[in-house]
């Protein structure tokens, strides 16, 4: 009897060991190396944006090896969309709500203990969170929507080139994983605002100062955050009058979602979508120089998918 | 059942009604303050102003126009004609506050047995009412300064609510930072969850802070402390709404009736908060009585009760007791006060006060002051804490009316709550689209401070936040020589006066927090032709930019001109 038990035990151990080596089900070694996955919609343009955004997000994450690559069981995940502005989703000033909702769901499915969604907004959070549609989408998907509390920022050592220390939101930094989910937009100073610029939504204080040396400051905060997963919303982008927008004529459909581990590459990709040469985007150039990623995203282990 | 037994039950009913009305009032204030700009405000949100006959009469006298909802106040008048000043005794939330303060006084100072006889000074409120109505008739709506509902709403908005929030938040933060613990027990395990609950479900919005809150506090504390001198001092001597209702109650149908067994013990007078002389046979003052029933409840002899009498005959005791001469003097004082308040250049529109930025949709200044009841409801509902009580920027006439202070908050582009909220439509209820076209001021750069002009640095935070599309703030790339001789190209911002609506978000986000380098003044405000320095563009075009294409944004480096492709091409 004892032998039988031992055999069973060994059998189980072998299966468990194999799973540990291979990673969670469905993740092949090749997928786990993918650094960038671009999902493009080639289906019917009449499909509602929410459906398109959902499918693109699912595919982009899948192409990267699935959410299980980033989320471990019991993790607390912070999703940082851009929901800075009191604008409805169609104006492309904020990340599309269904991208955020889908990411929340994928995190929960991957075993996250808790998924939190929050941003330090530019307009009042009480206005922007609901207007962006993200509050509702995130809550429906099971996330906790966090209104950042101005009195709870803490000064942290960034040890950057320009920013020695700054007020950062502890709850974000203390999460096991921060998923950066920006939308690609025009911006007068940055030219293009994508992933690195989106980190401005986790800091407190008079952050407007950063514009005086934007590229350096963005490198400082990005280096501090050590990005793992970023998901770029380019389902529609804001070509002019960014980052606030407000005119549908300035919005262009791009039907793309890109997920990746390299923020510099994603920023370069986003800048291209907006019609810029990445080498003219200061933060992209500075980011590469700082070793935060690679500007030439085509050289990465990249996947391009079409979704219909 | 003796009248006394009935009265004791009525008193309990009154206390319940009072508590309910005070709570309802506070709940409505709370509701307005946590309402998002996304959905429309329900009409009942300022119900208390709509049942206020003083606002009805005053606003009608001043502006000869009224929102229909204000006619609800006729119900209050009808009730008063029937039942007397029960509004004061049963409904008025400020009256209830005074009631509570007076109650504390009685137990705190053992003044229970002091008799407060009627004082001729109680006539002062009628004279104040006359003065205020004369002022209103000449177009100066100063009634709001004294109207009890305006007063309490304004004080709750600017003092009581922010004060409570401050105490809770700062207290919790202090505990959070000090993190005191006894063994394994942390104080924060209690304070943090309670703090979070209050923050998320009660306060909801960021803590507001209002200019001039100190004065508001002093006024409120003073009128509450006056209860120590005489119970319900405010209601007896000052309140013009009480005076107006008193006039209506002169021949009220519900009257104090003597049953003939009075031994003149004077207990009823001791219990009367209104000093309405219930103890004097035939001397009961219907105009003063709050209908609280205290007197009936304390009468051991069951000598008095309230009963219905036909209101046709004027009872002998109900004398207003104000001489024609006094009334005339009061009227003249009102007219004189109004003239005095207009004796400043701004009131006569010779010049415009740059700091007097009115909320979007506010009528022209004269029309605005004819309607604004200084209730502070717009300040409460404003989601960005941009509206503040005016000090003397609009003269004494406009004290406590709303003004936008862009350093402290901006006018949210997608919001029209203040117009929806205003109980007298001093701020027009505009749709979002209409409101977005209203200019409330104009932004101006201070080139001696603005970083790209003065300090050779990139900034453009103002442009980033500018909400109009195209943006009213644009930039011109200019080559600037720095101290070391190095030349840099800087994006120097400009304001397009055609597009700038004066929302003030630029000023509120400027990196300078002492004196912002971009400031909004009332110049160019839609409501005053006389305050518009800028000749509007050709009609039919929103901006000269629309005609000249994207190049007009500035130079090649402006970003906006880099991708001029039509997104739908």
- Where helices occur in B179-265 by DSSP H, the ranges are 188-197, 213-229, 233, 240-248
- What does the pLDDT average to over B528-549? 68
Contact B505, B467 (CB under 8 A): yes
Confidence class for position B279, pLDDT limits 50, 70, 90 = confident
* Selected residue with higher pLDDT from B271 and B311: B271
**Which among B38, B460, B560 has the least Cβ separation from residue A241?**
B560
Closest CA to B80 of B98, B54, B58: B54
Tokens 């004080």 locate to B155
Confidence class for position B537, pLDDT limits 50, 70, 90 = confident
**Which among B412, B510, B559 has the least Cβ separation from residue A86?**
B412
What's the CA gap between A65 and A140, in Å, rounded?
25
Give the tens place of pLDDT for each residue, B494-510.
999 999 999 999 999 99
**Does residue A86 sit in the same domain as residue A12?**
no
* Selected residue with higher pLDDT from B272 and B38: B272
Taken in order A56, A59, A65, A68, is the CA torsion positive or negative? positive
**A246 and B469 in contact by Cβ < 8 A?**
yes
**A86 and B413 in contact by Cβ < 8 A?**
yes
Cβ within 8 Å of residue A147, ≥6 positions away: A118, A125, A126, A129, B200
Distance to chain A for B464, nearest Cα, Å: 6
**Does residue A80 sit in the same domain as residue A21?**
no
**B461 and A211 in contact by Cβ < 8 A?**
yes
Q: What is the pLDDT of residue A242?
A: 86
Structural domains in chain B plus CATH codes: 3-154+216-308 (no CATH), 440-561 (3.30.70.20)
Q: What is the pLDDT of residue B17?
A: 98
Q: What is the pLDDT of residue B270?
A: 87
Distance to chain A for B92, nearest Cα, Å: 32
pLDDT at residue B112 is higher than 70: no
Taken in order A215, A218, A222, A223, is the CA torsion positive or negative? positive
Interchain CB contacts (distance < 8 Å): A and B: 117
**Does residue A39 sit in the same domain as residue A21?**
no
Candidates A146, A188, A192, A218, partner chain B, best to mutate (most B CBs within 10 A): A188
Interface subset of B 415-434, CB within 8 angstroms of A:
415
Q: Model ipTM?
A: 0.85
**Does residue A230 sit in the same domain as residue A296?**
yes
Tens-binned pLDDT, residue by residue, of chain A (308 aa): 444 455 555 555 554 444 444 444 445 555 668 999 999 999 888 899 999 999 999 999 999 999 999 999 999 999 999 999 999 999 999 999 999 999 999 999 999 999 999 999 999 999 999 999 999 999 999 999 999 998 889 999 999 999 999 999 999 999 999 999 999 999 998 899 999 999 999 999 999 999 999 999 999 999 999 999 999 999 999 999 989 998 999 999 999 999 999 999 999 999 999 999 999 999 999 999 999 999 999 999 999 999 98
pLDDT at residue B107 is higher than 90: no
Give the tens place of pLDDT for each residue, B296-350.
999 988 999 999 887 666 566 556 778 889 999 999 999 999 999 999 888 888 8
- What does the pLDDT average to over B89-99? 97
CA atoms within 13 A on the CB side of B161: 33
Give the percent of chain B with pLDDT over 70.
91
Q: What is the pLDDT of residue A24?
A: 46
pLDDT at residue B542 is higher than 60: no
**A188 and B475 in contact by Cβ < 8 A?**
yes
* Selected residue with higher pLDDT from A278 and B562: A278
Closest CA to A142 of A95, A96, A103: A103
**Does residue A1 sit in the same domain as residue A115?**
no
Q: How far is CA B76 from the centre of its chain?
A: 21
- What does the pLDDT average to over B361-385? 96
Residues A91, A95, A96, A101, Cα dihedral to 10°:
-150
Task: Please work out, in degrees rounded to the nearest 5, the angle formed at the alpha carbon of residue B32 by the alpha carbons of A96 and B364.
Answer: 100
CATH code for the domain in which residue A193 is found: 3.40.50.11440
Residues B31, B34, B39, B42, Cα dihedral to 10°:
10
- What does the pLDDT average to over B205-219? 95
Candidates A207, A208, A213, A277, partner chain B, best to mutate (most B CBs within 10 A): A208
A273: closest chain B residue by CA: B563
**Which among A126, A188, A212 has the least Cβ separation from residue B451?**
A212
pLDDT at residue B567 is higher than 70: no
**B491 and A206 in contact by Cβ < 8 A?**
no
Where are any strands of DSSP class E within B213-355? 254-258, 304-308
**A187 and B464 in contact by Cβ < 8 A?**
yes
Residues from chain A that touch B469, judged by Cβ atoms under 8 A, are 241, 244-247, 250
What is the extent of the structural domain holding A39?
A: 34-307
Confidence class for position B283, pLDDT limits 50, 70, 90 = confident
**Which among B414, B563, B568 has the least Cβ separation from residue A274?**
B563
Phi, then psi, of B185 in degrees rounded to 5? -90, 120
Q: What does the block give as tokens for B41? A: 């405000």
**B558 and A188 in contact by Cβ < 8 A?**
yes
Confidence class for position B110, pLDDT limits 50, 70, 90 = low
**Does residue A102 sit in the same domain as residue A218?**
yes
**Does residue A52 sit in the same domain as residue A21?**
no
Distance to chain A for B483, nearest Cα, Å: 17
Q: What is the pLDDT of residue B536?
A: 83
- Where helices occur in chain A by DSSP H, the ranges are 2-22, 29-33, 49-63, 97-109, 125-131, 134-140, 170-173, 195-198, 214-225, 263-273, 282-289
pLDDT at residue B1 is higher than 60: yes
Domains held by chain A: number: 2
B384 at the A interface (CB within 8 A)?
A: yes
Closest CA to B144 of B209, B55, B231: B55
**Does residue A47 sit in the same domain as residue A190?**
yes
Phi, then psi, of B254 in degrees rounded to 5? -85, 120
- Kindly list the residues of chain A whose beta carbon comes within 8 Å of any beta carbon in chain B: 86-87, 122-127, 130-131, 147, 149-152, 186-189, 191, 206, 208-209, 211-214, 239-247, 249-253, 274-276
Q: What is the pLDDT of residue B258?
A: 86
**Does residue A57 sit in the same domain as residue A77?**
yes
**Does residue A239 sit in the same domain as residue A149?**
yes
pLDDT at residue B541 is higher than 70: no
Residues from chain A that touch B414, judged by Cβ atoms under 8 A, are 86-87, 127, 131
**B511 and A243 in contact by Cβ < 8 A?**
no
If you average pLDDT over every residue of chain B, what do you get?
A: 89
**Does residue A151 sit in the same domain as residue A277?**
yes
A209: closest chain B residue by CA: B511
**Does residue A148 sit in the same domain as residue A202?**
yes
């Amino acid at each position: 009897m004892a032998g039988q038990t031992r055999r069973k035990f060994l059998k189980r151990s072998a299966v468990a060991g194999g799973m540990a080596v291979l990673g969670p089900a469905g993740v092949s070694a090749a997928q786990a190396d993918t650094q960038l996955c671009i999902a493009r919609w080639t289906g019917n343009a009449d499909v509602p944006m929410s459906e398109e955004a959902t499918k693109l997000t699912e595919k982009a994450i899948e192409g990267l090896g699935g959410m299980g690559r980033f989320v471990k069981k019991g993790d607390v995940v912070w999703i940082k969309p851009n929901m800075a502005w009191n604008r409805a989703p169609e104006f492309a000033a904020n990340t599309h709500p269904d991208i955020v909702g889908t990411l929340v769901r994928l995190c929960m499915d991957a075993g996250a203990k808790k998924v939190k969604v929050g941003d330090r907004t530019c307009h009042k959070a009480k206005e922007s969170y609901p207007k962006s549609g993200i509050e509702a989408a995130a809550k429906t998907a099971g996330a906790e929507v966090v209104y950042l509390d101005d009195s709870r920022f803490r000064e942290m050592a960034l040890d950057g080139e320009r920013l020695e220390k700054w007020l950062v939101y502890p709850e974000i930094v203390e999460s096991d994983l921060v998923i950066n989910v920006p939308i690609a937009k025009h911006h007068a100073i940055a030219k293009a605002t994508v992933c690195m610029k989106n980190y401005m939504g986790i800091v407190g204080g008079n952050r407007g100062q950063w514009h005086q040396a934007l590229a350096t400051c963005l490198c400082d905060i990005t280096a501090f955050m050590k990005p793992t997963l970023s998901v770029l919303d380019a389902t529609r982008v804001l070509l002019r009058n960014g980052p606030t927008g407000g005119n549908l004529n300035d919005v262009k459909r791009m039907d793309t979602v890109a997920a990746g581990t390299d923020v510099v590459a994603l920023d370069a990709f986003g800048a291209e979508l907006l019609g810029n040469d990445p080498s003219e985007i200061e933060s992209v150039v500075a980011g590469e120089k700082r070793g935060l990623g690679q500007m030439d995203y085509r050289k990465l282990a990249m996947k391009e998918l079409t979704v219909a | 059942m003796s009248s006394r037994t009935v009265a004791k039950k009525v008193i309990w009913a009154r206390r319940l009604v009072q508590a309910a009305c005070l709570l309802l009032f506070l709940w409505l204030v709370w509701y307005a303050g946590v309402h998002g700009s996304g959905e429309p405000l329900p009409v009942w949100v300022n119900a208390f102003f709509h049942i206020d006959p003083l606002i009805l009469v005053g606003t009608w006298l001043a502006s000869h126009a009224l929102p229909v909802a204000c006619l609800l106040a006729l119900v209050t008048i009808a009730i008063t004609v029937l039942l007397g000043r029960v509004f004061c005794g049963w409904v008025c939330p400020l009256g209830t506050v005074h009631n509570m303060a007076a109650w504390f006084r009685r137990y705190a100072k053992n003044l229970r047995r002091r008799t407060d006889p009627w004082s001729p000074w109680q006539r002062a409120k009628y004279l104040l009412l006359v003065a205020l109505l004369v002022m209103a008739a000449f177009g100066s709506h100063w009634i709001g300064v004294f109207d009890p509902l305006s007063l309490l709403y304004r004080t709750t908005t600017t003092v009581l609510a922010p004060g409570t929030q401050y105490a809770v938040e700062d207290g919790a933060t202090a505990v959070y930072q000090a993190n005191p613990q006894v063994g394994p027990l942390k104080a924060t395990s209690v304070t943090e969850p309670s703090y979070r609950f209050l923050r998320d479900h009660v306060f909801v919005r960021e803590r507001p802070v209002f200019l001039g809150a100190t004065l508001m506090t002093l006024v409120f504390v003073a009128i509450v402390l006056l209860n120590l001198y005489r119970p319900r001092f405010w209601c007896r001597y000052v309140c013009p709404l009480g005076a107006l209702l008193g006039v209506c109650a002169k021949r009220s149908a519900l009257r104090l009736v003597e049953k003939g067994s009075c031994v003149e013990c004077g207990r009823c007078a001791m219990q009367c908060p209104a000093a309405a002389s219930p103890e004097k046979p035939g001397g009961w003052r219907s105009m003063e009585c709050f209908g609280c029933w205290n007197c009936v409840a304390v009468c051991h002899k069951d000598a008095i009760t309230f009963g219905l009498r036909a209101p046709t005959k004027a009872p002998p005791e109900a004398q207003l007791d104000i001489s024609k001469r006094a009334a005339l003097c009061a009227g003249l004082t009102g007219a004189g006060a109004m003239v005095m308040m207009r004796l400043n250049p701004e009131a006569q529109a010779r010049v415009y006060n740059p700091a007097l930025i009115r909320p979007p949709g506010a009528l022209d200044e004269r029309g605005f002051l004819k309607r604004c009841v200084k209730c502070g409801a717009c300040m409460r509902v404003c989601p960005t804490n941009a509206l503040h009580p005016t000090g003397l920027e609009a003269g004494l006439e406009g004290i406590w009316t709303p003004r936008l202070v862009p350093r402290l908050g901006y006018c949210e582009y997608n919001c029209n709550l203040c117009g929806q909220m205003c109980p007298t439509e001093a701020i027009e209820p505009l749709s979002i689209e209409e409101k977005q076209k209203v200019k409330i001021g104009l932004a101006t750069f201070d080139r001696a401070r603005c970083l790209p002009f003065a300090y050779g640095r990139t900034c453009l935070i103002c442009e980033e936040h500018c909400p109009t599309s195209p943006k009213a703030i644009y930039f011109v790339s200019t080559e600037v020589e720095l101290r070391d001789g190095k030349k840099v190209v800087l994006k120097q911002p400009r304001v397009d006066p055609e597009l700038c609506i004066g929302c003030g978000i630029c000023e509120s986000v400027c990196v300078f927090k002492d004196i912002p380098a971009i400031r909004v003044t009332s110049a160019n405000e839609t409501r005053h032709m006389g305050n518009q320095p800028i000749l509007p563009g050709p009609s039919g075009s929103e901006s000269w930019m629309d005609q000249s294409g994207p190049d007009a944004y500035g130079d090649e480096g402006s970003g906006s001109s880099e991708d001029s492709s039509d997104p739908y091409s």
